[in-house]
Structures are given as structure tokens and as C-alpha cells.
Amino acid sequence: MSEHLKHNNYERPELELPLKDSKLLLHSCCAPCAGEIMEAVAASKIKTTVYFYNPNIHPKEEYEIRKDENKRFCDKLGFDFIDADYDKDKWFERVKGLEDEPERGKRCTECFDMRFERSALYAQENNYRVYATTLGISRWKNMDQINDSGHRSAERYEDVMYWDFNWRKKGGSSRMIEISKKEEFYQQEYCGCVYSLRDTNKWRKENNRDRIIRGIKFYS
């Protein structure tokens, strides 16, 4: 196993896709969440393409930083990277009326559905029989909400399945942080959409914390 796939002498178990001999389409939200998962599938020699489809991220400048960080790590590991559309207008249409929902509420379900529906479609059109997402590794997220959405999107196609592997297990969450520090990834401070930016800053104000200054914080 090459050096960059080892962390504190942790021996990665061999992972197997639920459909043997398939290739994996990995929907990715950002480099910090993707890092551990990308290293795990690389160590198991699972042929993987990273699919970056996140029209929720606001503003465009933040979107570009997150995308570039993810692409940088793909280039390092030799993964193909699909830069999908930034069709933010469709995202705003999709979550209309849900602007004041809390995080992990109905707006997030729509947000996951939109991103996974497009991922499942791309998988179906490009002969990937399995797709997964990096979103569930974050402890901020509701894993059931993400997996429900993942399965629902895959069910639209007979020959595509969603892989609901629990990436948090066996130290996955801590390795995610270790890798982010080692690679000095950009450290986003809100989930992604304009409403999460608004709500995080509101919380910060109430707790005497400084407002978010986008684009400056990196893991180190």
C-alpha cells in the first residue's frame, strides 16, 4: 500500500462494491468529506469517478474553491473528475418555499434529492451500476435522510443501485479530519447554501462569534 493511503498504521480492510466487477460513481460534496472515502476506495482498487454536482453551494466563488480543492485531490490520486453543471437557478426553484427550514429539514431532503437524482441519471447513462455519496461521512448530517434520498434516486433506474456504506465506522470520521489537515484542504464553515450561510452567521452573532469570512480558512 502506498504511503499516502496509510494513517497511523491503520490497515484498511478490503472494500467490495455491492455489485462485483462494477465501477463506482462517487458523488462528492467537497474535498474534506471526500478525502477518507477516496483513499479507502483507492486502497481497495475500486475503479471510481468523482462526480461533482452541487448547485446548492453559494456564492459561486465558494463553489469554485470547493470544486478546485476536490479536483486537486482527484488529480493527486489519479481519479477521473466530472465537473457537472452549476445550475443554481434550478436549485433555488427546487427549494422554493423551504427557505426557513432548519438544517436537516425538508429543504435538505430536496437538496439531496436533486443532487442524487442527477448522479443516478449520470450513472445510468454512463454505465456505472453503483453510485454513492460522500455526504454521509459528516457527523453534521442525518445519515438516514441521506440514505433514503440515495435509494429513492437509484430506484428510478433498474440497473443503478445506491451503495449506503457507513463511512463513519472504524475511525472513518477521525481519518477524514487527519487527511484534511495533511492535505491542507479548504475548510468551509457552513453547509453550502445561502440559507445555511445566513443561519450559521445568525448563530455566530447570538454567540458572540465573528461572522464567516469565506475563502480564507484552511485545515493546518
What is the spatial distance between Cα 72 and Cα 200, in angstroms, rounded to a whole number?
27
Minimum Å gap between C-beta 12 and ligand SF4 is 29
Quote helix, strand, coil % in the chain, to nearest 5. 45, 10, 45
CA distances from 26 to 37, 164, 205, 208, 220 (A): 9, 12, 36, 38, 26
| Smaller CB separation from ligand SF4, 41 or 111 | 111
Q: How far is the CB of 23 from ligand SF4 (least distance, A)?
A: 27
Map the footprint of ligand SF4 across residues 110-149, applying CB under 6 A.
111
Say whether residue 49 binds ligand SF4 (CB under 6 A): no
- DSSP string covering 130-151: EEEESGGGSTTS-HHHHHHHHH
Does residue 191 interact with ligand SF4 by CB under 6 A?
A: yes
In which region does residue 142 sit, left (phi positive, over 0), alpha (psi from -120 to 50) or beta (all else)? beta
When binding is defined by CB under 6 A, the residue of 108, 132, 154, 160 that contacts ligand SF4 is 108
Cα–Cα distance measured from residue 46 to residue 97, given in angstroms and rounded to the nearest whole number = 40
Q: Which is nearer to ligand SF4, 103 or 178 (CB)?
A: 103
Residues 50-69 that bind ligand SF4 (CB under 6 A): 56
According to the binding rule CB under 6 A, does residue 43 interact with ligand SF4?
no
> Positive or negative CA dihedral for 174, 175, 177, 182?
positive
Write out the binding residues for ligand SF4, residues 159-188 only, by CB under 6 A.
none
Q: How far is the CB of 13 from ligand SF4 (least distance, A)?
A: 30
Residue ranges that bind ligand SF4, judged by CB under 6 A: 56, 103, 107-108, 111, 191-193, 195-196
